[in-house]
């Protein structure tokens, strides 16, 4: 499953502008990138010039998803799936998924875009998973970037999530109710071996099996 990094912040703080520039730099570095955007607005026109989704596509994202209260584009009802579940279901083959919004997402790394310190407080004080802050104001702590440092943020993401992505990466992923369940290597091996054994017994005639996806809906 690809790593997920989501950009969070108060309304009109510049999340889309910074995130799309980071996407562009990641693409220049040779990575496959998907974007999942969350919004509270309804009745949005998708992927037309001037919209945020069009900005991400213009930046070079291979896939873009818009999640809103009344719809989810790719044209389907919003089933209130978690960011992790959406990334796993729709974009398992990209190198990284960049989110926008989803500040309450569990077990997801977040970069906060921060402005207007006189009227707002840092979200990192109230939400989990914030690994960096981008701001032109005086912010203390590790991994603080300026709003113009999209290339530096892309490099930070690359070093933290992508350069050693193949080392020690999980080869078996289990999601329950959209939440990723950590498993030790021997459990991953046991689960994968059991599923592969059943698949092999079906004698489907496929030349090479590379991935197996299973979704189980309990009554």
Q: Does residue 190 share a domain with residue 152?
A: no
Q: Does residue 120 share a domain with residue 187?
A: no
Q: Does residue 99 share a domain with residue 178?
A: no
Give the predicted TM-score (pTM) of the model: 0.74
**What does each C-alpha distance from 200 to 28, 152, 196, 206 come to in angstroms?**
40, 46, 6, 10
Segment 153-173 mean pLDDT: 83
Q: How far apart are CA 10 and CA 25, in angstroms?
A: 24
Secondary structure of residue 18 in the 3-state scheme: helix
Q: What is the domain count for the chain?
A: 2
List the CATH number of the domain containing 130: 3.40.50.300
Q: Is the pLDDT reported for residue 178 higher than 80?
A: no
Segment 161-171 mean pLDDT: 73
Q: Which two tokens mark 135?
A: 């701001």
The whole-number pLDDT of residue 190 equals 93
Spatial contact of 1 and 85, defined as CB atoms under 8 Å apart:
no
Q: How far apart are CA 209 and CA 87, in angstroms?
A: 22
Q: How far apart are CA 11 and CA 114, in angstroms?
A: 10
The whole-number pLDDT of residue 41 equals 81
Q: Does residue 198 share a domain with residue 135?
A: no
Secondary structure of residue 5 in the 3-state scheme: strand
| Domain assignment of residue 203, yes or no | yes
Q: Does residue 30 share a domain with residue 111?
A: yes
Instruction: For 96-125, write each residue's pLDDT tens digit.
Output: 999 999 999 988 999 999 998 777 899 999
Q: For 168, phi and psi rounded to 5 degrees?
A: 70, 10
| Domain assignment of residue 67, yes or no | no
- Taken in order 37, 130, 20, 50, is the CA torsion positive or negative? positive
Q: Is the pLDDT reported for residue 75 higher than 60?
A: no
Q: How far apart are CA 88 and CA 196, in angstroms?
A: 20
Q: Which domain holds residue 208?
A: 170-218
Instruction: For 13-54, write each residue's pLDDT tens digit.
Output: 999 999 999 999 999 999 999 999 998 888 776 667 888 888
The secondary structure element, H or E, covering residue 96 is: strand 96-100
Residue ranges of the alpha helices (H) in the chain?
15-28, 52-58, 83-90, 150-157, 185-201
| Domain assignment of residue 125, yes or no | yes
Spatial contact of 6 and 108, defined as CB atoms under 8 Å apart:
yes
Q: Does residue 196 share a domain with residue 95?
A: no
């Amino acid at each position: 499953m690809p790593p997920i990094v989501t950009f969070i912040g108060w309304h009109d703080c510049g999340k889309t502008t910074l995130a799309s520039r980071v996407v562009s730099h990641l693409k220049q570095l040779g990575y496959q990138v998907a974007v999942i955007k969350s919004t509270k607005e309804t009745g949005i026109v998708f992927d037309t010039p001037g919209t945020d989704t069009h900005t991400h596509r213009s930046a070079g994202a291979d896939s873009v998803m818009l999640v809103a209260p009344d719809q989810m584009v790719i044209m389907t009802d919003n089933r209130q799936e978690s960011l992790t579940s959406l990334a796993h279901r729709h974009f398992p083959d990209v190198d990284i998924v960049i989110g926008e919004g989803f500040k309450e997402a569990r077990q997801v790394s977040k970069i906060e875009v921060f402005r207007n310190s006189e009227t707002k407080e840092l979200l990192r004080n109230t939400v989990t998973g914030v690994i960096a802050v981008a701001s032109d104001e005086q912010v203390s702590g590790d991994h603080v970037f300026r709003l113009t440092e999209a290339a530096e943020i892309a490099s930070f993401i690359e070093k933290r999530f992508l350069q050693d992505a193949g080392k020690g990466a999980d080869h078996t992923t289990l999601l329950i109710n959209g939440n990723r369940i950590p498993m030790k290597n021997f459990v991953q091996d046991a689960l994968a071996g059991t599923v592969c054994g059943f698949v092999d017994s079906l004698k489907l005639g496929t030349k090479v099996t590379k991935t197996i996806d299973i979704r189980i809906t309990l009554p």
